[in-house]
Chains A and B, each alone.
Chain A
Amino acid sequence: TQLLEQSPQFLSIQEGENLTVYCNSSSVFSSLQWYRQEPGEGPVLLVTVVTGGEVKKLKRLTFQFGDARKDSSLHITAAQPGDTGLYLCAGPIYNFNKFYFGSGTKLNVKP
């Protein structure tokens, strides 16, 4: 069983559309991170959310941390082909000795 469940698993959309990716858990996290990974490369950190209810914006990307710190969402406005990649949520547990990753969302933005 995945500690962090992401949905959807796959998303193929046209350039200019909006989308939302969800990351859910039954566990409380002290923080959650979102990463983007391109083929053949390591994941790159996009954002960290720490406070319940927190909203962070990174250009066209909006990240939200649930009030109970069990879930998070990533919303992309006017998606572009450059947004294509694997999006991963992750969080530390066990006193920060481990980081677990969500199941991932593979996004493909078609021009």
Chain B
Amino acid sequence: GAVVSQHPSRVICKSGTSVKIECRSLDFQATTMFWYRQFPKQSLMLMATSNEGSKATYEQGVEKDKFLINHASLTLSTLTVTSAHPEDSSFYICSARGWDSGANVLTFGAGSRLTVL
């Protein structure tokens, strides 16, 4: 089945630095990838839709200058948290759109736990 690899799984950084998270589709091409943020004990919140070869589409309230998304190839999307602050600490999960039982579904990466000190 479809596999999405996300790296790093955990990252700790100092306040003011930038962190890049990579999301790769390993055995299929993903023209669209989605980035979610998840707070403890809560559901997933869609941050943005990453489109290969074009600009990402951000959800309302998500700062595009803070969360830079690049989807330069059909198998790689990156999320860069710029000038990170403690409030950016969270669990970030990427996913790619796939196909199951005749319907569009999502295949998820394992997530990246970001801690900003």
Contacts and interface: CB of A to CB of B under 8 A. Distances in A.
Interface of A: 30-31, 33, 35, 40-45, 47-50, 86, 88, 90, 92, 96-104, 106
Contacts of A35: 106, 108
User: For chain B, what secondary structure do more than half of its interface residues adopt (helix, strand, loop), or is it mixed?
Assistant: strand
Contacts of B44: 43, 88, 101
Contacts of A98: 34, 46, 49
B43 A103 contact: yes
A43 B104 CA distance: 16
B100 A88 contact: no
A96 B104 contact: yes
Q: Chain A interface secondary structure, helix, strand, loop or mixed?
A: strand
A109 B32 CA distance: 36
Interface in B89-117: 91, 93, 95, 97, 100-111, 113
Contact of A42 (B6, B41, B104): B6
Contact of B42 (A41, A47, A50, A104): A104
A45 B95 CA distance: 12
Interface in B2-32: 4, 6, 32
Contacts of A96: 97, 104
Contacts of B107: 45
Nearest to B107: A45
